[in-house]
Structure 1
Amino acid sequence: MKIDPGFIWTAFVQLLSALPTTLMITVVSVFFGFLIGTASALIRLYRVPFLHYLATAYVTFIRGTPMLMHLLLIYFGLPMVIDGTAAALGLSFRAASIPMIGFAFISFSITAGAYLSEVVRSGIGAIDRGQMEAAHSIGMTTPQALRRIILPQALAVSLPNLSNSLIGMLHGSTLAFTVSVVEINAKAQIVATTNWKFFEAYIAAALLFWGITFLIERAAGLLERRINLYNRGGVS
């Protein structure tokens, strides 16, 4: 068996067509996951009645089950809920009209939300409680203090973990092929079937993922240095 370096380049070029789908899944999932995670973290930190137990159960269940399981549960279970609800209400909408990538968005956002909830919660916990008390002393409400003082600092502290979560969702996006979404991994399989050069195709896919991961790490590193410079009172 010989490796065909030329086909690695050919496969790499063809895989670029699937790059937008992979990036879209990653960005959308992390964005909505961050919103879900922030809400969940605040509910748990401030022990909102009843919602506190739901948020805790959500985080515990999602973190305790595989990401692929979440995708399959959404893919097979959500249409049953949608179609049943639509039929009960006399609506014509059916789950079949939802694009396959929509199930990936929903599933991965829910998954990301549970993990990002812990990231945000730990970031808020790292901030001195005296800052909240100081904000209250000058007349700020708790939501105002969170928005203006606590959360910005918590996000800065959590930046390394946030970048790790982004990279994790990038790699997790490869699971979308199980619901017929053509992302980088699925595209590699399609390209390889033309002449059964799977090894070369997967090398190309690995190089592409490595390149994206490297860019994310570099961007996060630059942002972290700028934040540290600002916190020290430097001028950037």
Structure 2
Amino acid sequence: MQLDISFIWTAFRQILGAIPTTLSITAVSVLVGFLIGAVTALARLYRVPVLSQVSSAYVTFIRGTPMLTHLLLIYFGLPMIIDGLAGHFGWSFRSASIPMIGFAYISFSITAGAYMSEVVRAGLLAVDKGQTEAAHSVGMTTPQALRRILFPQALAAALPNLSNSVIGMLHGSTLAFAVSVVDINAKAQIVASTNWKFFEAYLAAALIFWGLTVLIERSSAWIEKRIGAYNRGGVA
């Protein structure tokens, strides 16, 4: 068996078409997961009755179970719930109307939410408590202090962890193939199945993932540099 260099380039070009699917899964899961994580983190930090206990249980369960398990639970469980409710209330909507990628969006967003919760919580804990007291002393409410003072500083402190979470979700998006979503890794398998050159195809996929990861790292470093210049009073 010999390495087919030319097929690596052929596979690379064919796999490029799957990049938008991978990026959309990553973007949706990170954005929705961040919103879920922010709410969860605030509920835990401010010890909101009931919600804080639910949030802690959610984070513990999601972080304690595999990402693929979440996807399969959503894939098999959500249709049961939707079709059951539709039958009971007479809705016309059925689970068959949900595109396969929709299950990936929902599942990965829930997964990302638990990990983002810890990222946001760590960022908020890194901000000096005196910042909150200073905000209250000038008449700001807690929501105003969070929006104007705490969250900007927390995001700056949490940026490295946030970048790692984005990369983790990018790589985790390969699991979407379990529900027939054709992402980069799945496209590599499809391309390789035509002539059984799996090593070359997966090598091409690895190069694409590596390039996307480097792009995320560079973007994160650029944003971190801009935030650092702003915090020092320089020109951002």
TM-score interval, normalised by the smaller of the two chains: over 0.9
* Letter of the 1:138 counterpart: V
The alignment yields a C-alpha RMSD, in angstroms, of 0.5
Q: Distance in 2 between matches of 1:138 and 1:189?
A: 60
What pairs with 1:79-90 in structure 2 (closer than 5 Å)?
79-90=79-90
Equivalent residue number for residue 134 of structure 1: 134
Give the Å deviation of 1:231: 1.1
Q: Deviations over 1:10-42 (max 9, x none)?
A: 000000110000000000000000000000000
Q: Deviations over 1:71-113 (max 9, x none)?
A: 0000000000000011111111110110000000000000000
Q: Distance in 2 between matches of 1:180 and 1:67?
A: 16
Equivalent residue number for residue 24 of structure 2: 24
- In the TM superposition, structure 1's runs of 4+ consecutive aligned residues that sit over 2 Å from their partners are none
Q: Deviations over 1:136-191 (max 9, x none)?
A: 11111000100110001100110000010000000000000000000001100000
* Letter of the 1:96 counterpart: A
Equivalent residue number for residue 39 of structure 1: 39
Q: Distance in 2 between matches of 1:135 and 1:49?
A: 24
Report the TM-score, using the length of structure 1 for normalisation: 0.99
Task: List runs of 5+ in structure 2 lacking aligned partners.
Answer: none
Q: Distance in 1 between matches of 2:49 and 2:25?
A: 33
Give the Å deviation of 1:232: 1.3
Equivalent residue number for residue 124 of structure 1: 124
* Letter of the 1:204 counterpart: A
Aligned length: 236
Give the Å deviation of 1:226: 1.1
Q: Distance in 1 between matches of 2:214 and 2:135?
A: 39
Q: Distance in 1 between matches of 2:142 and 2:74?
A: 35
Give the Å deviation of 1:230: 1.3
* Letter of the 2:85 counterpart: T
* Letter of the 2:191 counterpart: V
Q: Deviations over 1:186-211 (max 9, x none)?
A: 10000001111000000000000000
Q: Distance in 2 between matches of 1:203 and 1:12?
A: 9
Equivalent residue number for residue 158 of structure 1: 158
Q: Distance in 2 between matches of 1:226 and 1:49?
A: 38
Q: Distance in 2 between matches of 1:231 and 1:137?
A: 22
Equivalent residue number for residue 93 of structure 1: 93
Equivalent residue number for residue 176 of structure 2: 176
Q: Distance in 1 between matches of 2:215 and 2:113?
A: 23
Q: Distance in 2 between matches of 1:126 and 1:29?
A: 25
Equivalent residue number for residue 103 of structure 1: 103
What secondary structure, in the 3-state scheme, does the structure 2 residue paired with 1:158 have? helix
* Letter of the 1:190 counterpart: I
Equivalent residue number for residue 214 of structure 2: 214
Give the Å deviation of 1:122: 0.5
Q: Distance in 2 between matches of 1:54 and 1:232?
A: 39
* Letter of the 1:133 counterpart: E
Equivalent residue number for residue 78 of structure 1: 78
Q: Distance in 2 between matches of 1:224 and 1:90?
A: 52
Q: Deviations over 1:112-152 (max 9, x none)?
A: 00000000000000000011111111111000100110001
* Letter of the 2:55 counterpart: A
Equivalent residue number for residue 52 of structure 1: 52
Report the TM-score, using the length of structure 2 for normalisation: 0.99
Identical residues among aligned pairs (%): 75
